[in-house]
Amino acid sequence: MMYFSFYNFIFLLNFIFTIAAFIPNGRWIHSSVLIDKKLYFKGGNKINNNSIEGLTNELFYLDISKPFTTTDNVSIPWIDLTYTGSPLKGEATACIGGKNNDIIFVFGGYSPLNQPFVNQFDTSKQQWSNIQSVGPRYRQDISCAKFSGGLIAIFSGLSDPDFINDLWIFDTLTFSWSLSNAANAPPQRFGYCAITLPDENILYIGGVKFTDLANISSYIPMNILPLYNTKSHIWTNMSISGPIPSIRTLFSAILTPDRRIIIFGGCTNGGALGDLWILDTVVFQWSIGKILNSVEGLVLCGHTATLVEIYIIVAFGSFINGSLSSKLFMLDVSQKDSYRWVNEFTTNVTFPSNTSISDFKIPSLTIGAITGCVIFLVILIITMLCYRTYKILKRKQLQKAIKNMSI
Ligand SMILES: *[C@@H]1O[C@H](CO)[C@@H](O)[C@H](O)[C@H]1NC(C)=O
Ligand SMILES: *[C@@H]1O[C@H](CO)[C@@H](O)[C@H](O)[C@H]1NC(C)=O
Ligand SMILES: *[C@@H]1O[C@H](CO)[C@@H](O)[C@H](O)[C@H]1NC(C)=O
Ligand SMILES: *[C@@H]1O[C@H](CO)[C@@H](O)[C@H](O)[C@H]1NC(C)=O
Ligand SMILES: *[C@@H]1O[C@H](CO)[C@@H](O)[C@H](O)[C@H]1NC(C)=O
């Protein structure tokens, strides 16, 4: 009796201490989803060479029902849920679904432990389970997009060896997959961002083709924006005007209630980016986002970004110097013409009512954050991928890609 209660007591103490003291350390290539007042973070890599040994299975959330200061890490209300048995996966993407939109679905990614393509975490029961139904084959660096009635689209991704550009739809109510047969699918890509628009078309922005990572012309131009119509299952391109953002992968994108898509950071084969771009989907125009107070050194990739009230919460990622960020950065996006980095998160701050568009629903999608900024990191990723898939990958192709990279 005594024995049991002593250990129970220690366990409880340890449990409470862990919860109270949890401060996540730096990581990138994680994924993130918002459910109600909890911003969940899953996985990622804690080593910037993106190796298997750096993978983390951590699962935790930021309690956004409470105010905090981003510069004071002790004030940030983190809650660790890793003890729930979170699976180990790298470069996965996560979206929410289920009848009550309270289930996190983690798609794709690599794992030393042969994880299934989909894992699900029921946030109400705090329980993980695997989904074994037959669907897409192995791929990573996807950006899942949730749309009507609990459906989630998975497009292309980094795979082997023939770099497919297929689009699959997962039903989060029945756990079944279907493959889209739509003609004119855009070329394969990874490290892109998918955004579900209020009309339920899915917009695909940026990314890069795997086959020729060193080649600038294998990046997807930012003015070619494929749209997948989830009702008619037809691919079109969005026509847009304005200046064109530089090519990039591994960036973040969010949609505001007044239909601005805001993209931040990422990287190209020329290095990392800290710029902000706005795609106004009311007038179909790109413009440069004007930041009133730029933060020195704020150049990130492999981060995640989530719209919470009027803020974009930019979390973790890799700085340009290769160190991994353990920080949160918060951008006030309430004004259309100017953007401001802020440190204080205050709850219940909403967009000015004139900016809201009544039929708008914030899609609960977040980009699965992805990988490397600096060329040498990208090379390491390829090397690592090659190690995983060397049986199938044509060695010659890789060597050629690496040789063509100018460091
Ligand atoms: C990555 O870095 C870690 C820590 O520095 C090191 O132990 C590991 O061998 C490296 N892995 C690769 C594939 O370079
Ligand atoms: C929290 O911030 C303090 C002060 O900046 C720093 O010394 C400490 O290492 C941080 N802790 C973590 C876990 O990042
Ligand atoms: C880069 O790709 C373009 C188009 O695919 C091709 O024309 C060009 O030769 C490639 N350049 C290199 C250096 O491989
Ligand atoms: C979209 O634009 C690209 C580049 O101009 C073109 O190759 C492609 O065929 C277009 N796709 C559709 C579905 O019209
Ligand atoms: C890398 O850059 C970040 C952001 O500027 C900075 O906070 C960090 O101290 C730098 N790390 C190193 C090792 O220089």
| Tokens of residue 367, six digits | 């980009």
Average pLDDT, the chain: 85
What is d(CA 204, CA 61) in angstroms, rounded to the nearest whole number?
27
CA 162 to chain centre: 24
- Residue (of 199, 277, 289, 273) closest to 238 by Cα position: 199
**Do 157 and 144 contact (CB within 8 A), yes or no?**
no
| Residues in a beta bridge with 255 | 261
| Tokens of residue 16, six digits | 């409470």
Amino acid identity of 291?
A: I
Pocket of ligand 5 (CB under 6 A): 297, 319, 321, 323
**Nearest protein Cα to ligand 2, atom 1:** 73
Q: How far is the CA of 330 from the centre of ligand 5 (A)?
A: 18
Pocket of ligand 3 (CB under 6 A): 212, 215, 217-218, 404
Q: Is the CB of 237 under 6 A from ligand 4?
A: yes
Dihedral over alpha carbons 158, 148, 180, 228 (to 10 degrees): -70
| Tokens of residue 316, six digits | 């973790």
Gyration radius (Cα) of the chain, Å: 20
- Residue (of 273, 210, 214, 225) closest to 246 by Cα position: 273
Lowest-pLDDT range of 98-112, 263-277, 348-362, 393-407? 393-407
For 255-280, the DSSP string reads E-TT-EEEEEEEEETTEEEEEEEEEE
What is d(CA 361, CA 363) in angstroms, rounded to the nearest whole number?
6
Q: How far is the CA of 325 from the centre of ligand 5 (A)?
A: 8
What is d(CA 188, CA 42) in angstroms, rounded to the nearest whole number?
26
- The predicted pLDDT at position 14 comes to 52
Q: How far is the CA of 160 from the centre of ligand 3 (A)?
A: 21
**Mind listing the pLDDT tens digit for each residue in 374-400?**
334 444 444 444 444 433 343 334 333
**Mind listing the pLDDT tens digit for each residue in 116-132?**
999 999 999 999 999 88
Q: How far is the CA of 319 from the centre of ligand 1 (A)?
A: 18
With a cut of 50, say whether residue 57 has pLDDT above it: yes
Q: Is the CB of 73 under 6 A from ligand 2?
A: yes
Residues contacting 162, CB < 8 A, separation 6+: none
Q: Is the CB of 182 under 6 A from ligand 4?
A: no
Q: How far is the CA of 13 from the centre of ligand 2 (A)?
A: 23
With a cut of 90, say whether residue 243 has pLDDT above it: yes
Q: Closest-lying ligand to the alpha carbon of 211?
A: 3
Question: Other CB atoms closer than 10 Å to residue 98's CB: what's the count?
Answer: 17
Angle of CA points 7, 59, 53, to nearest 5°: 95
User: What is the mean pLDDT of the segment spanning 45-63?
Assistant: 94
Q: Where are the domains of the chain?
A: 13-132, 364-407
- The predicted pLDDT at position 113 comes to 86
Which is more confident, 242 or 181?
A: 242
**Nearest protein Cα to ligand 1, atom 11:** 51
**Do 384 and 331 contact (CB within 8 A), yes or no?**
no
Q: How far is the CA of 378 from the centre of ligand 4 (A)?
A: 28
What is d(CA 303, CA 144) in angstroms, rounded to the nearest whole number?
16
Mutational pocket test of ligand 1: of 29, 53, 324, 381, the residue with most ligand atoms within 8 Å of the beta carbon: 53
User: What is the mean pLDDT of the segment spanning 91-118?
Assistant: 95
The reply to whether CATH 2.60.120.10 applies to domain 13-132 is: no
Residues contacting 214, CB < 8 A, separation 6+: 269, 375, 401, 402, 404, 405, 406
